[in-house]
Amino acid sequence: MIRYLLPLLFFSFSGLSQELTSIQPTKLGYKASFFSKTGEQALKEIPSLGSMLVWKDSGLVYESYFNGTSSNTLFQLKSVTKTVTSALAGIASDKGYLPALETPVLSLFPEYDTDITANENVWYSQLMNETDSLKRTLTIHNLLTMQAGFEWQDNSNLSHRAFQASSDPVKFVLELPYSSIPGTTFNYCTGASHVMSAVISRCVKTDLKTFADSVLFEPLGIQQTNWTCDPTGIVAGGAELSMKADDMMKFGLLFLNKGKLGDQQLISEKWVNESTSEQAELNEWDVLPQANGYGYYWWRRMTNGHQAIVASGYGGQIICIVPDLKLIVVTTCLINEQNRGRSEIKRLHTIIDRIVKASIN
């Protein structure tokens, strides 16, 4: 288990908190019934819908909860967790804790940097030798951009079950064979984001949840979260964070405002721009219409001719930001028998497209 002590008080943000104000949608040009009808249609198309919130310009124009949920419900964010992990990597980088992104991952984990080179008499020696060679080229940047090169299928039960059942999931991932050279091919990998959690923890000398509370959650006024750990104490960097829907909106606002909370720069504008720009080529993704690149655990897509950046989680957990429209759409879904899995994401983007279209003046 990780039992590091905080090396120092990361920040002091007394009095800071992101307040969510409300605005009548008609004042911004929306038809009076637009959002009520949109919410009804969304629930009809996505029966597992838990919440939908819309921010435009300087306030919430819509906030609604469904299926017995409320503003106090903690929703399972699934892979939206990855985007939070990316933000924490940015803060760690800004403060000088995280080394350059081209740093080899194994240089931070000497306990896993073991020589497994096999001689030619071993029948699988070629695989072992290739793995041994490539694992030392894996960088932090490769992890953040889903270009780790691991032999991994994120939607494969076998991959996930073996990863989740491991007594040391970080070691499990770092010992995977490779299907491509690190840094060359996009391959969505939850295991890579879990290793990224371990990287941040190693660098800031505390677990990811404690770090997040100090530098991100408390400043934003996010007080209620659940975030589980693996058997070794590493916080799950790729999933398992739970949060209220309005707190997801606060996180989205931080990125809409280029990392600023009031007059404080929580995350540098440089990191916000870098992490949301195209770091890996991605021109097609089955549940993300008009995909156009991938950042540091941020998806990118076009909607009605406008660039959007998206934090996306299994089953319909979404933070979609359209910066030039000053628009954010947050959705959550319940993970229940009505939820149709990843396909809910595509359905919700159709709803988001309607909201974006109505937001263009």
Strands in 22-167 per DSSP E = 49-56, 59-65, 75-76
Is residue 250 domain-resident? Answer: yes
User: Which of these, 320, 355, 319, lies nearest to 75 by C-alpha position?
Assistant: 319
How far is CA 320 from each of CA 86, 249, 343, rounded to the nearest angstrom?
A: 16, 10, 16
Residue 1 has pLDDT above 50, yes or no: no
pLDDT in tens, 207-251: 999 999 999 999 999 999 999 999 999 999 999 999 999 999 999
* pLDDT (mean) for 336-351: 95
Lowest mean pLDDT, pick from 18-27, 50-59, 322-331, 352-361: 18-27
What are phi and psi for residue 234, nearest 5 degrees? -80, 125
Higher pLDDT, 16 or 313: 313
Is residue 96 domain-resident? Answer: no
Mean pLDDT score across all residues of the chain? 92
- pLDDT score recorded for residue 19: 76
CA 283 from centre of chain: 19
User: Which of these, 140, 270, 259, lies nearest to 197 by C-alpha position?
Assistant: 140
To the nearest 10°, the Cα dihedral for 350, 289, 28, 329? 80
Is residue 213 domain-resident? Answer: no
* pLDDT (mean) for 344-352: 97
- pLDDT score recorded for residue 159: 78
- pLDDT score recorded for residue 15: 42
Is residue 176 domain-resident? Answer: no
- pLDDT score recorded for residue 114: 79
Residue 14 has pLDDT above 60, yes or no: no
- Residue 102 token pair: 């081209």
For residue 293, give the H/E element and its range.
Answer: strand 291-294
Boundaries of domain holding 60: 25-78+242-359
Please name the residues in contact with 61: beta carbons below 8 A apart, sequence gap of 6 or more.
Answer: 22, 23, 24, 25, 28, 30, 35, 54, 55
Residue 10 has pLDDT above 50, yes or no: no
Pairing of strands 306-313, 264-265: unpaired
Compute the distance between CA of residue 142 and CA of residue 185 in angstroms, rounded to an integer.
10
* β-bridge partners, 225: 243
Residue 201 has pLDDT above 90, yes or no: yes
- pLDDT score recorded for residue 117: 61
Residue 361 has pLDDT above 90, yes or no: no
- Rg over alpha carbons for the chain, rounded to the nearest Å, is 21
Residue 12 has pLDDT above 60, yes or no: no
Residue 40 has pLDDT above 50, yes or no: yes
Taking residue 361's Cβ as centre, other Cβ atoms within 10 Å add up to 6
Is residue 286 domain-resident? Answer: yes
- pLDDT score recorded for residue 6: 41
Is residue 54 domain-resident? Answer: yes
pLDDT in tens, 56-105: 999 999 999 999 999 999 999 999 999 999 999 999 999 999 999 999 99
Residue 133 has pLDDT above 90, yes or no: no
Q: Which residue has the tokens 């540091």?
A: 296
Q: What one-character DSSP code corresponds to residue 26?
A: G
For residue 218, give the H/E element and its range.
Answer: helix 218-220
5 exposure class (CB count in 10 Å sphere: 0-12, 13-18, 19+)? exposed
CA dihedral sign, ordered 277, 280, 286, 287 = negative
Compute the distance between CA of residue 278 and CA of residue 108 in angstroms, rounded to an integer.
26
For residue 316, give the CATH number of its domain: 3.40.710.10
Is residue 120 domain-resident? Answer: no
- pLDDT score recorded for residue 116: 65
Is residue 294 domain-resident? Answer: yes
CA 240 from centre of chain: 11
How many folded domains does the chain comprise?
Answer: 1
- pLDDT score recorded for residue 48: 97
Please name the residues in contact with 329: beta carbons below 8 A apart, sequence gap of 6 or more.
Answer: 52, 53, 54, 55, 318, 319, 320, 352, 355
- pLDDT score recorded for residue 4: 37
- pLDDT score recorded for residue 123: 54
